[in-house]
Structure 1
Amino acid sequence: MDTIVSSLVISFVIWVCIYVLISNTRSRKSAARLPPGPYSFPIIGNLHQLGKKPHQSFAKLSRTYGPLMSLKLGSKTTILVSSATVAREVLQKYDRMFSSRAIPTAAQALDHHKFSLVWLPPSSQWRNMRKMCKENIFATQRLDTSQGLRQEKLQELRDYLHRSSVSRKAVNVGDAAFTTSLNLISRTLFSKDFANYDSDSSQKLKEIVWGVMKTAGAPNLSDYFPVLQMIDPQGIMRDSKFYFQKLFDISDDIINERLQVRGTSEAKKNDLLEALLDHSIKNEFEFGRNDLKHLLLDLFVGGTETTSVTVEWAMAELLRNPDKIAKARAELKEVIGQKEVVQESDISRLPYLQAVIKETFRLHPAGPLLAPHKANDDVEINGYIVPKNTQVLVNVWASGRDPATWSDPEIFEPERFLDSEIDVRGQHFELIPFGAGRRICPGLPLAYRMVHLMLAAFIHNIDWKLEEGMKPEDLDMDEKFGLSVHKALPLEAIPVKL
């Protein structure tokens, strides 16, 4: 029996090797015109150079091979873009040619890629869904109507920070930001809370959401060697199905509960689920319940994880730079006064707060490689060929630290944006944390409001004290990689009410 198993394993390995070698042979014809890159070994290619933080490894390699670089990741050719100039070529000049997605295996769990706004190709289904989201979810009028729901959640954050200051209890800033983000998005979507600051409920949901982000962003052998998808050697597809199903179960419960009260005497909810259900009923064949569940998964994960991660990084940088947090706090006091509430209409009157957020996006983009693009045809860029069906990764982490674009790129300096027209809406390729072109993140309008309001709540009328004996410069700023990048060591500090 052992001999049979050994023979099967050896046969399988030989099969994989032959498959990869044939793939490599087919690609050599166009390799001469591929962008430059490091030598790739047989079978594994450049997989050994990924490291635990691929965005940093890619940035280091780009300093040798240039801002347009090719790598062989297993059997897959991947093109890396690491500068604003080349990103403009890919996401603006040749936007249509790079508008498809290279879909990771994890995103295919429970057929999510067939319904997801993130992973669908630019088809009529995708265009209809994007239009529906723009009109029913992210339109300015719709967001203005629902801002009262978000203000309630921000007040709860302020109350929690006040209680912690009275008890001198250290706050895990990332957890508090996630709980707030979770309730901000759940209130906007569903008119209900998902978590409390003093319970384990938010931690459980955080583990589910982080599980989704980790499985989607983890280096997966099945992506590099598609022949391995059937055996799922790392269990990533298994884990992805588990986390997706957890979120689908939550969505099913909420949808069923809402459908039961629709048409009764209970007042109609003024939230995004109600708008989506109305749209689904009117456009049943275009947007059914399954589409709704997959869209809610996209909105739920994207709306909680990236916002809370950005706020934690912003707070970490501000606590490392006491003069910067003092400036941000002084601006809030001057513009808002002593009142607790910062309204969404106040954001435009807070240029330094906006600069802090931009600088955080520059140094710590939540999605350092964006969602992967795919070439729809052979495309020539800077004299090199990007072959059809090649995966293209835009390393916004690298372009945000490019010394050709930014002076002192490793320094947290919000002032660089005070006299600058650069913003994050996809027109200035030096700073595209939400992407650009037709595949720019549709949730940008909501995320923009949430991240500014939440950071303001953390610093307005509040000072922060680090653990006993810790100096600001001692704060650990190491990263933990997934589809989003977390602080490896959670930020904890004691709020002091001013």
Structure 2
Amino acid sequence: GILWSNGDTWKALQDVLKLAQEDSRVVTSLQRYQAAEYDVFQSHVKDTSSAYDLEFLIRKTSFNFLSAFLLGKRHGHGDPASMNEIRNRLAELFAFTQSGNPENYLPFLANFERAKINRAAANHEIIFNRFREIIQKKRDNPEDPPTDFLQIYLSNYEQEGSKNDISEADLLQTLIDMFTAGEVNLFMSTKWILMALVKYPEVQSKCRSEMRQVIGQGQRVQSQDRSRTPYTVATIKEIQRLYSPVPFTVFHCPIQDIQVGGYDIPKDTFMIIDCKSTCRDRQVWKDPDIFNPDRFLGIDLEGQLPERCFSPYGAGPRYCIGKYVADMFMYSLVANILQNFKITTKHPEQPLSFEDVYCLFGLQPLHFSEVTLVPLE
């Protein structure tokens, strides 16, 4: 898969994922899916006949967005049979392989976890078989033009035969990697963004004013509006800098002996990057503990700041390849929420706690259940 492969296989997987994210036909299709998904999200929140679970809605919206990008299909919020089994099995797999597991540091502990290992292996094969069924349907009924990752792969790479460095197992595992890591990132990042917008109501109001001035009150916000709403984009980046849910990258190993910062690192040494420390480095950021979206205004992060300084998606060549669609998702969802709702808490008279807990692959806010959305007039 994309997370654990190296060499030609990793490069080939990275190329096809990048190609899918840059293909205008895929992006256009994804925008349509996202618009439909937000309509469902909004209808649930505005439905006064029943209470809604905001965390549940964000998680399903995240999963459906990834499903649209990877598989070209979304699942109805009221149709648990079509998605909950896969999503729950993926969550179990991800919990089993997360970097915080003690077995990763003390391998002998795996001897006491045989039941968990066997269950993970069974889940793995069940998910593989489900994906095989979807892939076969796409082979039998190819789309022209392709509008999702799988179709991009089938139309551009599978036909190359022996020149293709991507095996079936690599493709299937990449789907699992993108679903598991992607959903956790989108789900948790969105929760932190909404939490921060509650904490800084003046910033929330400023973002809303910018969108209403540029896009129009009540108008749908699209991902291509990012360039027209620089303050909103800067706000999301600043929240990602301070409240990134991913404290560490996954394990990687140098393929040869290297030296970094004066330290000798032997070949095949397990390495992880502390993403949070780079985002709060006082040698790079002015007043790094202060929330200030203005620091990102007018700054080309790719050109004026070292890439390692802003690392919510990891750092170096092995950064999260899904960052482009992740940015698209979070901007569109948060911007449309700002257009239609006031983000507040169920008990506005009480300060919102930002206490967190390590869950699955990242840091999750413990008190997100206090956040609520109030429709704007």
Contact 2:33 2:74 in 1 (8 A): no
Picking from 244, 250, 261, the partner of 2:130 is 250
Aligned to 1:434: 313
Percent pairwise identity: 24
* Superposition deviation, residue 268 in structure 1: 7.5
Q: Does 1:144 align with 2:27?
A: yes
Q: Does 1:324 align with 2:208?
A: no
Aligned to 1:184: 65
* 176-185 vs 426-435, greater mean Cα deviation: 426-435
Picking from 156, 181, 186, the partner of 2:40 is 156
Structure 1 unaligned residues grouped into runs of 5+: 1-115
Q: Does 1:482 align with 2:360?
A: yes
Contact 1:214 1:482 in 2 (8 A): yes
What is the number of residues matched between the two proteins?
373
Distance 1:323 1:168 in 2: 30
The residue type paired with residue 254 of structure 1 is I
The residue type paired with residue 309 of structure 1 is M
The residue type paired with residue 145 of structure 1 is T
TM-aligned CA distance change 1:267 to 1:402, over 3 Å: closer
Distance 1:291 1:324 in 2: 43
Distance 2:368 2:18 in 1: 35
* Superposition deviation, residue 258 in structure 1: 3.3
**2:372 aligned counterpart, secondary structure:** strand
* Superposition deviation, residue 419 in structure 1: 4.5
**1:437 aligned counterpart, secondary structure:** coil
Aligned to 1:55: none
TM-aligned CA distance change 1:426 to 1:134, over 3 Å: farther
Distance 2:242 2:83 in 1: 27
Contact 2:221 2:336 in 1 (8 A): yes
Distance 1:487 1:205 in 2: 25
* Superposition deviation, residue 347 in structure 1: 0.9
Picking from 117, 121, 126, the partner of 1:241 is 121
Aligned to 1:3: none
Distance 1:206 1:315 in 2: 23
Contact 2:257 2:266 in 1 (8 A): yes
Q: Does 1:347 align with 2:230?
A: no
**2:308 aligned counterpart, secondary structure:** coil
Within 5 A, what are the aligned runs for 1:200-239?
206-217=87-98, 219-227=100-108, 229=110, 231-233=111-113, 237-239=117-119
**1:451 aligned counterpart, secondary structure:** helix
* Superposition deviation, residue 195 in structure 1: 4.3
Distance 2:205 2:195 in 1: 14
Picking from 175, 196, 215, the partner of 2:56 is 175
Distance 1:492 1:157 in 2: 18
Aligned to 1:134: 18
TM-score, with structure 2 as normaliser: 0.86
**2:355 aligned counterpart, secondary structure:** coil
**1:486 aligned counterpart, secondary structure:** strand
Picking from 143, 148, 160, the partner of 1:271 is 148
Report the aligned-residue RMSD.
3.1
Contact 2:25 2:147 in 1 (8 A): no
**1:406 aligned counterpart, secondary structure:** coil
* 339-348 vs 186-195, greater mean Cα deviation: 186-195
Picking from 383, 388, 413, the partner of 2:292 is 413
Distance 2:88 2:292 in 1: 33
* Superposition deviation, residue 191 in structure 1: 2.9
Distance 2:305 2:18 in 1: 16
Within 5 A, what are the aligned runs for 1:383-394?
383-394=262-273
Distance 1:424 1:493 in 2: 36
Picking from 355, 362, 369, the partner of 1:491 is 369
Picking from 179, 185, 206, the partner of 1:306 is 185
Structure 2 unaligned residues grouped into runs of 5+: none
TM-aligned CA distance change 1:275 to 1:325, over 3 Å: same
TM-score, with structure 1 as normaliser: 0.67
Contact 2:3 2:174 in 1 (8 A): no
Aligned to 1:96: none
Q: Does 1:119 align with 2:17?
A: no
TM-aligned CA distance change 1:494 to 1:434, over 3 Å: closer
Contact 1:426 1:435 in 2 (8 A): no
Distance 2:278 2:119 in 1: 32
Contact 2:54 2:372 in 1 (8 A): no
Picking from 393, 396, 403, the partner of 2:275 is 396
The residue type paired with residue 3 of structure 2 is V
* Superposition deviation, residue 494 in structure 1: 3.4
User: Which has the bigger relative contact order, CA under 8 A and spacing at least 6?
Assistant: 1
Contact 1:462 1:495 in 2 (8 A): yes
Q: Could you say which structure has the larger radius of gyration?
A: 1
Distance 1:133 1:273 in 2: 9
Contact 2:16 2:152 in 1 (8 A): no
